[in-house]
Chains A and B, each alone.
Chain A
């Protein structure tokens, strides 16, 4: 559908200006979209790598945990783990990726107890299986990576949203706004031309009449 306008020269000028802005905007949006996609792909690749790595480690840790679980009763296991030695504090900052504010996670492992940094095992050794040690150790090692993964995945999600939005805008400009404006501009130009020709013919006609009378 065309834009409803009065076919005047002023309207034409305004429309031309808008068209110019739209074309420029479209170019910018396209560039933004390309860059977003580039960033997105970069992160996706990293994410895949990291996720595979974590999943492998985590499933190994789970398997060990399972074995520890098999030789200990549920109560004993829970008692062993009920009071953790390590405390973690998490800070959420913002990072700017192409004016998207993605969370930046930074965490600190604090020892809740004196000398706790090097002691992630909060239990005694008599009732617990050695397989629990190994499992706890792997889990503790995975933590920073899990944080990184969380950060990355959130950024990817936000990026995906933004790409979708940008693409929609770029497409709207390219396939709807700009063609419509061009159409309207052509319509106004033609209308103005038509008016001009009508005026000209009228003038010629009048001239003829005047000349005939003389």
Chain B
């Protein structure tokens, strides 16, 4: 009888090796504490990023390196993962990013150039298909293998946008569709890890969005439109809290798994008026969730963990390098660094 998850043996094996090449905390610290961009860059050159650094001319093109690395990782995932559609879910957000760019480009009547630079190649749907969906007048759904939800969302947006002309609608509506798809697919695939991951993402995003909407002074109707579906925390909860003082949020989340976070959020908001710490903690919480499953020997989890770890790592490197290029003080950079996976 074959062992459950045996088809993952090769992929997990490879991931275990790659994991050792992730940047650990020590190295990130060294980058933060380096005296200049060049020095931080040199430290980065001692890692697996080295082979890509040869291709860029100056330190200031670090964005290209990070982009190339992200692309490489997603390609690698597709290559080694026996069930690519699972990791595809993680890459789905890039498809939606591309959709947003294309839709906004269409309504701005932008052609070519500027827009193409913003498209990301890491998505699961070929760019040509997306372009056909949005620009082709006589688009036939059956000719392409596009997810049904995407087509429906684009149709809805076309209708709504013509009525109101509000570009925010595009983002809001696509974000909703994305998470509906993510949670839905994860359920279909019976992957509890993925489902938990997405549900947490939804909840954390909703908490943050709630605060942002509250600050903007918008009404309940708007709040409801910004909330993502399938969260563990019901949308009504946020809607009821909109006119209450902020402490009420912390109180009502007291019993949930987000109690600590809500605490930090409220305190930080009142003291400093920003949510930097919360954003960091939220990312940490997701990484921690994946870290718990890191030691599964056979299965999807290590792959997911690695993918997320890599995305976080790239985010961290970006924070450090942007900070260094612009001379941000060390503790401001440190304040924003996310936990590492290793």
Contact = CB atoms under 8 A, between A and B. Distances in A.
A92 interface: no
B181 to A, nearest CB: 13
Contact of A130 (B101, B226, B275): B275
Interface stretch (B23-31, B127-135, B139-147, B314-322): B314-322
A176 interface: no
Interface string B161-177: 00011111011101100
Residue of A129, A130, A134 contacting most chain B CB atoms (<10 Å): A130
A82 interface: yes
B54 interface: no
B5 to A, nearest CB: 32
Nearest to A124: B171
A126 B203 CA distance: 11
Contacts of A84: 167
Given A79-B97, A130-B275, A133-B212, A112 B63 contact: no
A133 B97 CA distance: 19
A79 B228 contact: no
Contacts, number: 119
Given A69-B322, A70-B336, A71-B279, A130 B166 contact: no
A75 interface: yes
A113 B165 contact: yes
Interface size classification for chain A:
35 or more
B51 interface: no
Contacts of B167: 83-85, 113, 122
Nearest to A76: B97
Contact of B168 (A69, A85, A129, A133): A85
Contacts of B105: 82
Interface string B317-340: 011001100101000100010000
B326 A66 contact: yes
Nearest to B110: A82
Contacts of A73: 63, 66-67, 318
B211 interface: yes
Interface string B188-200: 0000000000000
B17 interface: no
Interface of A: 66-67, 69-71, 73-76, 78-80, 82-85, 112-116, 118-119, 121-127, 129-131, 133-134
Given A123-B168, A125-B226, 12 more contacts: A67-B336, A71-B319, A79-B118, A113-B166, A114-B166, A121-B216, A122-B171, A124-B100, A124-B170, A125-B172, A126-B171, A130-B275
